[in-house]
Amino acid sequence: MTIVRIENLTKKYAGRRGVENLSVEVEAGQVLGLLGPNGSGKTTAMKAMTGLIRPDAGEISLFGLNPLEELPAILARTGCMIETPGLYPYLTAEQNLLLTGRFYPRFDAKTVEPLLERVGLLPYRRDKVRKFSMGMKQRLALAAALLPRPDLLVLDEPTNGMDIEGAALFRELLLEERARGCAVLLSSHLAHEMEQLCTHVVVLREGTLQGGMPVAEVLERYGSLERYYLRMTNGEGREAI
Along the 241 residues of the chain, how does pLDDT read in single tens digits? Answer: 899 999 999 998 876 678 999 999 999 999 999 998 888 889 999 999 888 899 999 999 999 999 989 999 999 999 999 877 789 999 999 999 999 999 898 889 999 999 999 999 999 999 999 999 999 999 999 999 999 999 999 999 888 888 899 889 999 999 999 999 999 999 988 888 899 899 999 999 888 999 999 999 999 999 999 999 999 888 655 554 4
Phi/psi of residue 52, each to 5°? Answer: -80, -25
Question: What is the distance between the alpha carbons of residues 104 and 112, in angstroms, rounded to a whole number?
Answer: 13
- Domain limits, the chain: 2-77+151-233, 89-149
User: In sequence order, what are the beta bridge partners of 16?
Assistant: 13
Which residues, including other chains, have CB under 8 Å from residue 223's CB and lie 6 or more apart?
none
Q: How far apart are the C-alpha atoms of 14 and 3, rounded to whole Å?
A: 31
**Which parts of 157-207 are beta strand (E)?**
183-188, 200-205
2-77+151-233 CATH choice from 3.40.50.300, 3.40.640.10, 3.30.930.10, 3.40.50.1820: 3.40.50.300
Q: Determine the Cα–Cα distance for residues 99 and 87; give it in Å rounded to an integer.
A: 10
Report the C-alpha gap between 105 and 118 in whole angstroms.
22
Strands of the sheet with 16-27, listed across from one edge = 16-27, 2-13, 57-62
Spell out the long-range contacts of 69-73 with Cβ–Cβ below 8 A and sequence spacing 24 or more.
none
Other C-beta atoms closer than 10 Å to the C-beta of 223 total 10
Residue 203 bridge partners (DSSP)? 35, 211
Distance of CA 195 to the CA centre of its chain: 15
